[in-house]
Chains A and B, each alone.
Chain A
Amino acid sequence: MLTIDGKEVDFKEGATVLDVAKNNGIYIPTLCTHSGLLPFGACRLCLVRIENMRGFPPACTTPAAKGMKIITNDLELNDLRKNVLELILSEHPHSCIICDQKELCEKYNLSPTKAGRVTGCTFCPNRDHCELKKVAEYLGIKEIRFPFTYKNFPLEREDPFFDRDYNLCILCGRCVRVCQETRGIGAISFINRGHDTKIGTAFGKSHLDGGCQFCGACVDACPTGALSARGSKWPGVPDKVTTTTCALCSVGCSLKLETKWDKIMAVRPDAEGPANQGQACVRGRFSIPALVNGANRLKYPLIRQNNRLVPVTWDEAAELAAVKLGKYLPRETAFLASPFLTNEAAYLLQKFARVCLCTNNIDTASFFSGPVIESQIKCSGMGAGAGTIEDIAKSGWIIIIGDDLLASHPVLTVKVNQARKQGAAVSLIGSERDINSRLVDICVSVEPSGYFPLISGILKIIVEKGGFDKNFVTGQCNDFDKLKNSLKKINIKTIAGTCGIAQDLIEKLTSTILASGRGSILYGPKILECDDPGQIIGLLFNILLLAGSPSGIVPLRDEANSQGVGDMGALPNFLPGYQHIADKDSLAVFENSWSAKLPNKPGLSYPDILDAAIKGSIKALYVTGGGIPREISLKQLDFLALHDIYPSPLFETADIVFPAAAFTEEDGTITSLERRVQPLYAGANPAGMSMPDWKIICMIAEKMNVKGFEFSSASEVFDEICKVNPLISGHGIWDLKLKGKFTLTPVEKTARPKRSILYEKPLWHYRGVDLTEKVSDIKILREKIFGGQDVQGSP
């Protein structure tokens, strides 16, 4: 209990005076506090009066205590704050803040004038978000009584994505702290001291050279216009702001799309996003406008006439697709579901394939899907990981294997960093970049071929030392004896030799698991380069089961919705909800609800579909965006239909091209890597005449006179999904409930037919569109980080 402005209020242990005021609806002006950052006490605007305390303590750094009597505002405090802000403003161009014509000017001068150097008035890119202005208005500042000093720093515009004008900087330190505390990168710092203090880098390096990841967290934290996103700083106040989910990777960040003139102009992370909590990465923050607004977006349906693709109406295109697809036998047709499709589109696509064309030749066009899902189902009965993003932050140990987390899922590094600050030991298995080595505690540099022996060694040490929950393992896990026997042959010394690492490194890594039961394993696409990726996942599950509850295992999927597309049954052997196609009962349920006879033999998997298409045994192929490796030629095909957002190399062979809406232009849902089902909302209308994928499928089904595809909105499709798919109903996130039965995987070399071709795909892409091609700044960044090497192999 304490008294604040005469009101008696309760407070939580550890809250600051500022927190207490905020929770009770009392405003105290402040410029340096920011959600998620530790109190800093830089701006001195939150000074308050507390009875029996000397002077005026800052509210943000003073812990609330029992019986405190706090006054947050009186004339003297206001004068004091005014003085402080006037001092701040004496080094910040402020004509825009104190001008008496301000209101009229803002009303009629809607868009900021483009100017290189901000000197006040309408020149500031941050005009509509200026926090200084808000505080000055609250304090009633009409003039600045101190002479103005312009610091005359050069503008910093050499780096990609955002500009820096430190003449506007008030040294609140939010950018430095968000980069160090939240992101764990520390690409900027306070340089020099006293009057010469400036935000900068070591030896004045560029951000590109200094290890900046361009996540934009500093730009979002800045209360002034010192940092501004280059592509999107001039359009002014947006016409509308739409909260949606990012579909550029599978983390599921919530983003705010700012639309003007029906175009996405800027994107900011959503502070309330359950996965990202106000954070984003270079892709979500900076690349979306350029990606979806490209001048050569597909605008009309195209069909092949006289060996040329010509634009036609939707009616003609759908009619032609219906006629052509109807001509082939079920075994001659195949569908590839892009892992970027919405749940609705994926559900309808597999329904279309199974109901209209009677084929199970449908798979998710992701190499990280098939073998991964099968192994996941074998281990835990579910085609998913276990554990949530929030669990990562609470882990005592974390193992990242086979992925460059900082490049592929930057927002997850925020959680890893949080755990690490609370004492978690973070280990990285795989190739390392310099910058990674400072973010982790143990770096084990091994090639994918070394994953199998390394994990076997870890399991051997855990089992030998008995550091596991015996009741759980013997009671709820099958095959523990098999695993134990298979570990007998293993020798840690030999393993260290094969992997080319020190023996004590394996022991050190294992001891982090044994020291604290609760942990997280994050595995990425590099495990596909192992001889048997499914088995590696099985072995990782072993570690998890031995470590006990409530540890998590998270697949680091590249593609936004490869989880959801699988859940929806866009797989050759599973119906929605991972109900096996050969299981008569579940097949009957679907036959009943779809009122159609369904094929009951598993279809071809993604790699098999590609092989069959090359050989010619598949004659008609329906591709929904990406998934065809560049080196593959589909000339053998009779018929190829595409959903695409940009022209692609496949246009040479395509017979019909349907222009699809981008994820910023459609409603729907996608499922993140933690199995959180999240909504997409359209921020703008689809480009030209393009349409959401689910609508295109419905249209063709209608032309084929098949019932069950009469939907007028994505939410109607979602309702049907909820009826038939037990997984999605309730929107719950599945976590590893240690109630069921699990199966341990024995450590045995398994023979797997090795695929001869190593397909390459761009590391950052959306529906097969390489981000480096569409966003020039991404290209600069990628070349810097990866030295031009821009692809990732998949077997």
Chain B
Amino acid sequence: MKKKIEQAIKPFGKERGNLIPILQAVQDNNRYISEDAISKIADKLKISEHEIYGVATFYTQFRFTKPGDHMVKVCLGTACHVRGGAQILDRTEKTLNILPGETTLDSAFSLERVVCIGCCALAPVMVVDDKIYPQVNSSDVGKIIAKHRSRHKKE
């Protein structure tokens, strides 16, 4: 993991302006921004870790806890909301036994509530990793999760 962070930081210069691109690169490589990563960035740019953390928490795109191996996103945008997205989210929460923003104990799944992913014609939509599940109903949720869980075990 340390190597991953160093790899992500390496290509950038030491200018302060590189902070956000570096944070993005670290999150791309390591999936979240750890304490370790922030202190490495601090050493490189000579900015205090607190300042970096302050910048990073300003943007919702950055995560500070290790996410699960699979990211489950349930859309509650206007179209999905109208077509019952809330029930899908509710069922997902119960199936995974976590709330949005949390990760399951076995760190297999993280759940996120999103607001429109740009395919309203397919509402209500649920996304696991990069796979989009269109027109989901409550009874599909269990199957979708189970499918990914079995794949997760094989991996």
A residues near B (Cβ < 8 Å) are 176, 180, 185-193, 200-203, 210-211, 437-439
Contact = CB atoms under 8 A, between A and B. Distances in A.
Interface in B7-60: 35, 38, 42-43, 46-55, 57-59
Interface of B: 35, 38, 42-43, 46-55, 57-59, 64
Contact of B38 (A176, A186, A202, A438): A202
Given A186-B51, A202-B54, 14 more contacts: A180-B51, A185-B48, A186-B48, A187-B50, A189-B50, A189-B51, A193-B57, A201-B53, A202-B35, A203-B35, A203-B64, A210-B49, A210-B50, A438-B47
A188 B48 CA distance: 9
Nearest to A202: B53
Contacts of A176: 54
A213 to B, nearest CB: 12
Contacts of B38: 202
Contact of B52 (A188, A202, A211): A202
- B contacts with A: majority SS: helix
Nearest to A199: B54
Nearest to B38: A202
A201 B50 contact: yes
23 contacts: A186-B47, A186-B50, A186-B51, A188-B50, A189-B54, A190-B54, A190-B58, A191-B53, A192-B58, A193-B57, A193-B59, A200-B50, A202-B35, A202-B38, A202-B49, A202-B52, A202-B53, A202-B54, A203-B35, A211-B48, A438-B46, A438-B47, A439-B46
Contact of A191 (B35, B57, B59): B57
Nearest to B64: A203
Tell me which of A189, A192, A193, A210 has the highest count of chain B C-beta atoms within 10 A of its own C-beta. A189
Contacts of A185: 48
A121 to B, nearest CB: 33
Contacts of A180: 48, 51
A191 B51 CA distance: 9
Nearest to A196: B57
A202 B42 CA distance: 12
A587 B147 CA distance: 99
B53 A438 contact: no
A164 B79 CA distance: 46
Contacts of B55: 189
B42 A438 contact: yes
Contacts of A187: 48, 50
A535 B58 CA distance: 53
Contacts of B54: 176, 189-191, 202
A147 B83 CA distance: 37
A716 B113 CA distance: 79
B42 to A, nearest CB: 7
Contacts of A189: 48, 50-51, 53-55
Interface centre among B35, B38, B50 (most CB of A within 10 A): B50
A339 to B, nearest CB: 35
Contacts of B57: 191-193
